[in-house]
Amino acid sequence: MKNMTIAAVLAVSLGGCMSASDHARQLPSSHERDMTVGIVQRDIRKGMTAAAVAEVLGSPNIVSKDRDGKESWIYDRLATEAAYSTGSGGILSLLIGSRNAGAASSTQKSLTVIIKFVNGVVSDYSYHSSRF
């Protein structure tokens, strides 16, 4: 009975060991709920109303109006995504020494969208995206 208990504990402990690549696969994926280039390309069109743009993209960071009354909305987004996962070898590490494993990732992204309005409808738009 004692041997079966030790075997069960060892099996559970060994099953809990993860390599760095296993940890990397466990990191959360980037489920982007906020504005992306794809959303801008898919949903923003010339002739849309300002209200429709606000419904799709939300509130802009900057709103300006030139002397001719043309309005520009600027959306400027910067995001940093960082994730870290780590673990140790459990009971096995006590028997054969420390066996820590882990993975980390960090990404920065920027997106700038400029939408120009004439009489409350989109006359033109542009965007720039970078990832580093």
Distance CA 75, CA 122 (A): 14
pLDDT (tens digit, 9 = 90+) per residue, 34-92? 788 999 999 999 999 999 999 999 999 999 999 998 999 999 998 888 887 777 656 65
Per-residue confidence (pLDDT) for residue 29, from 0 to 100: 47
Contacts of 3 (CB under 8 A, 6+ apart): none
* Continuous segment of H or E residues that includes residue 112: strand 101-118
Tell which residue, 24, 27, 22, has the closest CA to residue 89: 22
The DSSP symbol for 120 reads: T
Distance CA 75, CA 78 (A): 10
pTM passes above 0.85: no
Q: All domains of the chain, ordered by start, with CATH?
A: 2-131 (3.30.1450.10)
Q: At 9, phi and psi to the nearest 5?
A: -65, -45
Computed on alpha carbons and rounded to an integer, the radius of gyration of the chain in Å comes to: 26
pLDDT (tens digit, 9 = 90+) per residue, 3-16? 555 555 555 455 55
